[in-house]
Amino acid sequence: MRFKSIVFAAIAILCAACSNMEYDISEGINKELTLFEDEISVPLGSIGPLTIGSTLNGVSKLEGLGGMVAEYIKQDADGNLILDASGDIFRINIYELEKRLGDVSTAQTWNSGFQMGYIGGMASLLGYINLKAVNQKIVVSASNPLYVNVPASCDASATCMGAGGITSTRIEGLDNFTMPGGSTKELLTIALPEEITDPVAYISLSNLTLDLPANPLSKVSDKNGNLFFAFSYYFSCGIAVGENFSIPVSDLSINSADVAIGKYRLKKCQFTVDLESTIPLSVNISNIRAVKPPKEDGSQEVDENIVITGDVTVPGGSEEKPASTTITLSVEALEGTIPDISGMLVDLNLSAGSDLGDVALCADQGLYVKSSSARITGGITIPQE
């Protein structure tokens, strides 16, 4: 039977009793009635989910590195959180190249020596806030301004720097290759070994050689277009949590709360809710405050009449191994009864979960209410009109 029907039935029984003078409660009796003092389960509505994706907006407002990283975090097609960067490893104008070659009357092999491209963006800062780079990927591209193919070769490597020191990984596939005439082409894509979690700091091309034709300037594909021999990179990585990671977020807004309890006219109650976490982080939620419906300008203010007590600590989990926990919150209206709660402000602290390994962060990972009902204890009070 639906809860509303139960309440209506109880009120009907009460009214019937009052029609009999033997049960007259009009004089000297407290007219408030408390039903179901032990426990009853009622619909709670929904809370959240509080996902990593929805939290990023709050984190981005933090001062310092935490806010900087959140500002540059992107989502790939699968919802994974990634950092990426692109840039040049080496580039030289064809006019400058001919000047360096000197005599260009015959074909020759030109050795540009050692070339290096530093990885830009925020990935290099991950270690400073105890985050790890996972699923690291590098795409190397080459640009050829001539209309003829140019054979080339080099010894390429990616160098990672972090708490574990300096690690270099050889990039296979660039020992001998061809730069197609008049185009920019991706030469290769490599994925770094899973055990490497320090971010790539730079990509190097040692002994980069180009087999050039005679009079290369005369073979430029478009003198009003690209005039550069260039090697560039695109780098991306997922984000995982390091052992010492910890970041606090104050006044995080949860606008997706929809706790429709005003109709039950509760003065005080306790909610017991089963939560499930797929975030590879330990989550502590404290200082929970109900907020009033947004004003016309979108601003919100805390409902000081509603007091919510009880902190929430949820252990880290993953989509393969969700973590479950039970929390109890007490909600009280200082005056009148508890209205519908459409939004909340909370303080949040995220720290590393235990025994989860390097789980990549995803926007859909979050805290979920496992059911749409909650157990309310302490009774439902029907106040005097």
Tell me, yes or no, whether 323 and 198 share the same domain. no
Is residue 76, in this structure, part of any structural domain at all?
A: yes
Domain that holds residue 292: 33-53+256-382
Instruction: Name residue 329's amino acid.
Output: L
Q: Is the dihedral of CA 353, 356, 358, 362 positive or negative?
A: negative
Is residue 48, in this structure, part of any structural domain at all?
A: yes
Is residue 247, in this structure, part of any structural domain at all?
A: no
Tell me, yes or no, whether 199 and 296 share the same domain. no
pLDDT per position as a tens digit, 139-152: 999 999 999 999 99
Beta bridge partners of 360: 240
pLDDT per position as a tens digit, 350-377: 888 777 777 888 888 888 877 655 556 5
Is residue 358, in this structure, part of any structural domain at all?
A: yes
Query: What's the whole-number mean pLDDT along residues 214-226?
Result: 93
Is residue 59, in this structure, part of any structural domain at all?
A: no
- As to burial, measured by CB atoms within 10 angstroms (0-12 exposed, 13-18 middle, 19+ buried), residue 130 is middle
Query: What's the whole-number mean pLDDT along residues 225-240?
Result: 94
Q: Distance (Å, rounded) from C-alpha 79 to C-alpha 193?
A: 22
Q: How many domains does the chain fold into?
A: 2
Q: Is the dihedral of CA 193, 198, 203, 206 positive or negative?
A: negative
Is residue 8, in this structure, part of any structural domain at all?
A: no
Is residue 13, in this structure, part of any structural domain at all?
A: no
Tell me, yes or no, whether 291 and 211 share the same domain. no
Is residue 60, in this structure, part of any structural domain at all?
A: no
Tell me, yes or no, whether 44 and 77 share the same domain. no
pLDDT per position as a tens digit, 289-305: 999 887 878 778 999 99
**Which pLDDT score is estimated for 107?**
96
Least confident of 51-55, 75-79, 133-137, 166-170: 51-55
What CATH number did the domain enclosing 147 receive? 2.60.120
- As to burial, measured by CB atoms within 10 angstroms (0-12 exposed, 13-18 middle, 19+ buried), residue 183 is middle
Least confident of 26-35, 173-182, 355-364: 26-35
**Which pLDDT score is estimated for 372?**
54
Query: What's the whole-number mean pLDDT along residues 210-234?
Result: 94
Tell me, yes or no, whether 228 and 341 share the same domain. no
